[in-house]
């Protein structure tokens, strides 16, 4: 599962992904149902958009399904009705520089940990997006993050982790056509544990209203 993440060093977005990202603020506690910066394929180059986290498929009767579709499992993403069309046609990058998981510490308490790359740099999580239209014609753009089995570092806390795409494959993820689905599926694997690290965070992260550097302090 991926239920919270960070994008603090958003200034890296232009050099890392070639997108304009002016006006963004550091985010320390990004949560579902919020509008989040994602990157989609543009006419000539990738572009940054603000989509809501929690996929609402084009065929949904209403928006209530979003809370159940914040993540898509890599093993079934090409088959499930909620995700299959987006996997073929509407993939996105979800830029981040960390994500959270929780360790149960007894008496109902949970200790959050933030997982990052050892380099501390921004990375791209594999995402899917869709556009839903209400009866009045209003459009809602939403996305989900693809998860895979956890690597050796994350598995001590959770059996799932977000798919982190390798450098050099982000444009392929965005732009590959329907003839490349097998190659796209091959990217949906755990990121190497030896290239990641985990740091204790504050229980403040449990509340999505807390979105400040304080959530990083154990």
pTM recorded for the entire structure: 0.96
CA-atom Rg of the chain in angstroms: 17
The token duo for 185 is 């599926």
Find out if CATH 3.90.1680.10 is the number for domain 5-99+118-193.
yes
User: Beta strands 98-104 and 91-96: pairing type?
Assistant: unpaired
2 is catalytic: yes
Of the residues 2, 12, 79, 139, only one is catalytic, namely 2
Q: Domain boundaries in the chain?
A: 5-99+118-193
Choosing from 101, 103, 121, 170, which is the catalytic residue? 101
Could you read off the pLDDT tens digit of each residue along the chain, which spans 218 residues?
789 999 999 888 888 898 988 889 999 999 999 999 999 998 888 999 999 999 999 999 999 999 999 999 999 999 999 999 999 999 999 999 999 999 987 777 889 999 999 999 999 999 999 999 998 889 999 999 999 999 999 999 999 999 999 999 999 999 999 889 999 999 999 999 999 999 999 999 999 999 999 999 98
Residue 92 annotated as catalytic:
no
Please give the backbone phi and psi of residue 30, each rounded to the nearest 5 degrees, phi first: -80, 130
């Amino acid at each position: 599962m991926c239920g919270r993440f960070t994008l603090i060093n958003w200034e890296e977005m232009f050099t890392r992904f070639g997108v304009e990202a002016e006006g963004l603020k550091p985010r320390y506690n990004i949560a579902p149902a919020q509008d989040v910066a994602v990157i989609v394929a543009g006419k000539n180059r990738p572009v940054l958009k603000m989509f809501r986290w929690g996929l609402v498929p084009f065929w949904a009767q209403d928006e209530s399904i979003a809370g159940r579709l914040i993540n898509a499992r890599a093993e079934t993403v090409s088959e499930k009705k909620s995700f299959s069309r987006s996997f073929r046609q509407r993939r996105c990058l979800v830029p981040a520089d960390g994500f959270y998981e929780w360790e149960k510490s007894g008496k109902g308490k949970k200790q959050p940990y933030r997982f990052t790359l050892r380099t501390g740099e921004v990375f791209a999580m594999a995402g899917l997006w869709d556009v839903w239209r209400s009866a009045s014609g209003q459009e809602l753009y939403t996305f989900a993050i693809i998860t895979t089995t956890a690597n050796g570092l994350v598995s001590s806390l959770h059996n799932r982790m977000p798919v982190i795409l390798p450098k050099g494959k982000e444009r392929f993820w965005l732009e590959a056509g329907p003839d490349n689905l097998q190659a796209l599926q091959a990217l949906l694997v755990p990121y190497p544990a030896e290239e990641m690290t985990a740091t204790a965070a504050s229980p403040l992260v449990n509340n999505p209203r807390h979105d400040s550097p304080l959530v990083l302090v154990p």
